[in-house]
Amino acid sequence: MNDSDNYGSSKIILAKWKDRFFAWIVDFVIISIISTSIFFLSFLYL
């Protein structure tokens, strides 16, 4: 194995801000739906 091959394979590529913002919005929506459903289910059975 060459050291140059090993160096090229360990390169980290960061996501663009648009992709990160979209992923943050999706995470926020999923967590909001889950927490809201748990909240309403807890009041449904009280």
Q: 40 lies in a domain?
A: yes
Residue 1 has pLDDT above 70, yes or no: no
Comparing 41 with 4, which gets the higher pLDDT? 41
pLDDT band at 45 (very low <50, low <70, confident <90, very high): confident
Q: How many domains does the chain have?
A: 1
Q: Read off the pLDDT of residues 5-40 as tens digits, 9 standing for 90 and up.
A: 555 578 888 889 999 999 999 999 999 999 999 999
CA 11 to CA 20: how far, in whole Å? 19
Is residue 22 domain-resident?
yes
Residue 3 lies in a domain: no
pTM of the model: 0.61
Q: Per the domain annotation, does 25 fall within a domain?
A: yes
Compare 44 and 20 and report the one with higher pLDDT: 20
